[in-house]
Amino acid sequence: MTITTISSGALERALHLRDLSDSLQGPHAMQQIVESIHEALASRWRCQRLLYRGSPLVPVEDNYDRLGYPPEGVVRDARYTRYVTSRMMLRAHTSAMIPGLLRSLAVDPPEDILLICPGLVYRRDMIDRLHTGEPHHLDLWRITRGKVGIGDLEDMVLTVVNAALPGYQYRTVSSLHPYTTNGLQIDVTVENQWIEIGECGLASLDVIGAAGLQATGLAMGLGLDRILMVRKSIDDIRLLRSQDARVQRQMLDLSPYVPVSNQPAIRRDLSIAVDEELTPEELGDKIRQASPEHADRLECVEIISETPYIELPAEAHARMGMREQQKNVLLRLVIRDPVVTLTGHEANEIRDTVYRALHQGSRMELTNS
């Protein structure tokens, strides 16, 4: 597999991004979610706790190999993973902290311990109201010399949902994960729709044993942004990081969010030529890397249609400067700042920035030029 690494600028931006789950970087309601969850579990189990925050830079082995991911798994592709070198990467999940922690426990194995690993993770993801390229995750692993089973896992799910989202209905559905057995996906219902908030399972004995431990365990990974949005009735993930004082004041507790404005959306359609294999996640990542400040003003980037080179007339090829092995993608940009009203000229600037970041044809069609 060919490894494509991120730029030094992208790495610097990632490492300087504020972690909302970390109280040392300033107070935020997300920290209250984390605390309520591990307090509830520790109270339930009467076990030792270890809260750990590792570096966002992790060995590829800890992020994938030691968690049981297959060598040729699609998630390892640079389209989805932010490689720094062939051996180091920005963690794709907080589970990447677990192998190292398990190895450290093997020196003096505890009887019963809850590992608590919150933090930022780094993905290539689409742009819409629910997704970001740097979400916050929380891994919770119970490691015990005793025996745990499905009943313990179900009790863990109940305890976590009651602590994080009291009063919400939830369900679990079967889901495969390489580092668990009997894997489950956890959903809660919001306005008659099921929303995924995490996944869990019995911790893989292979993963535990490879670290030098003789133990069993439970493993759970949660999406903190999604949980906080559900808890506070927030429908736009960008609000969690808003710099507007009216919004920031509301991000200090878990009370329901009160909208500070209702900005009108501005839509711009653009037709671009890109490589045939380019994915929606890569499109979103290219936009974020090209202009983070403009990406924050994009509510949604929707793919309307995709048409291969061979199915387009020669006029379309010429208009875009399109080459073979490319496809034409029609995108719809929904431009709306969460708190500030944008002008048509500002919307056109964002449109042109996105166009320059994505279009790979030899002819450009700009609005503000």
DSSP secondary structure string, 300-339?
EEEEEEEEEGGGS-HHHHHHHT--TTEEEEEEEEEE--SS
pLDDT average, residue stretch 9-20: 93
pLDDT of residue 281: 84
Residues 91-142 pLDDT 10s: 999 999 999 999 999 999 999 999 999 999 998 777 777 888 899 999 999 9
At residue 368, the pLDDT reads 64
* Residue of higher predicted confidence among 280 and 42: 42
C-beta separation of 246 from 296 below 8 A: no
Instruction: Please state which of the ranges 63-67, 200-204, 224-228, 258-262 shows the lowest mean pLDDT.
Output: 258-262
Q: Which residue blocks in 113-232 are alpha helix, DSSP H?
A: 150-164, 205-210, 224-232
d(CA 191, CA 168) in angstroms, rounded, equals 11
Q: What is the mean pLDDT of the chain?
A: 93
Give residue-wise pLDDT tens across range 233-270.
Answer: 999 999 999 988 999 999 999 999 998 877 888 999 99
Q: What are phi and psi of 65, to 5 degrees?
A: -60, -50
Q: Phi and psi (nearest 5°) for 142?
A: -95, 120
Taking only the tens place, the pLDDT of each residue in 235-244 is 999 999 998 8
pTM listed for this prediction: 0.85
Arithmetic mean of pLDDT, 64-77: 90
Phi, psi of 200 (to 5 degrees): -160, 175
Give the pLDDT score at 264: 87
CB burial class (10 A; 0-12, 13-18, 19+) of residue 88? middle
Percent of the chain with pLDDT over 90: 78
Domain ranges, ordered by start, for the chain: 8-232, 266-358
DSSP assigned state of 61: H
**CA–CA separation, 254 vs 230, rounded Å?**
10
pLDDT attached to residue 140:
98
Average pLDDT over residues 65-94: 91
pLDDT score of 130: 80
Phi, psi dihedrals of residue 155, rounded to the nearest 5°: -65, -35
- Residues across the chain: 369
Alpha helices (H) along 262-364: 280-290, 292-295, 314-320, 344-358
Tens digit of each residue's pLDDT (9 = 90 or more) over 161-215:
999 999 999 999 999 999 999 999 999 999 999 999 999 999 999 999 999 999 9
Q: Which amino acid would we find at residue 213?
A: L
Contacts of 113 (CB under 8 A, 6+ apart): 47, 48, 49, 50, 105, 142, 143, 144
Measure CA 365 to chain center: 33
90: left (phi over 0), alpha (psi -120 to 50) or beta: beta
CATH homologous superfamily of 8-232 = Bira Bifunctional Protein; Domain 2 (3.30.930.10)
- Rounded CA-CA distance 21/220 in Å is 17
Average pLDDT over every residue of 309-338: 94
Q: Which of 67-81, 102-116, 142-156 has the lowest mean pLDDT?
A: 67-81
Band the pLDDT of 2: cuts 50, 70, 90: low
Structure tokens, 201: 């399972």
> Could you tell me the two tokens for 134?
């740097």
Whether 221 and 138 have beta carbons less than 8 Å apart is answered as: yes
The pLDDT assigned to 283 comes to 86
CATH H superfamily, domain 266-358: Ferrodoxin-fold anticodon-binding domain (3.30.70.380)
Contact by Cβ (8 Å): 65, 95: no
